[in-house]
Amino acid sequence: MENKSMKLVKALKALAVATDNIELERNINYSKTDLYNASDNSVADIVRLIFETAHRLTKELAGYLITEDDIELVNTLQQQFLLAMPERREKDTESSTATTNIENIVKEIAALQRNKLDVLIAPLEDSNPDFYQQYKNARKIIDRGIRHEHEEEGK
């Protein structure tokens, strides 16, 4: 949607410069960054403004390689975007909730290991020291960190 809208913006800017239409140039002065950084609602509003401006100037934009289909495509994409916005917010909320749930479950598992499993294994320390030590080793957390470079062989 942003790319198709920017195609219209470029043509509208060219038309504004060619016709010395300062008001048009000022009203349609958007960049890809403006669209990228705007909130969903703002993007939808900006794209609607671009569409409406281009729609009013369909004949004039023909000289700048813009067709009615190009203009209508932006309108269609904007409508689809509006329909998708609530669904996207819902998925973001679900993802956030799931992440919180995972963190809580991991804490519960750690508490079970610490409070139950470690206590149940403790009597085996004297009678089965190899098994007990393997259990303790398996419980150790090894933080390997993040590596950005491949290790060379032989190191």
pLDDT of residue 144: 65
In the predicted model, what is the mean pLDDT of the chain? 86
- Higher-scoring residue by pLDDT: 96, 83: 83
26-35 residue pLDDT tens: 999 999 999 9
Check: CB of residue 89 under 8 Å from CB of residue 16: no
102-112 residue pLDDT tens: 888 888 888 88
pLDDT of residue 46: 95
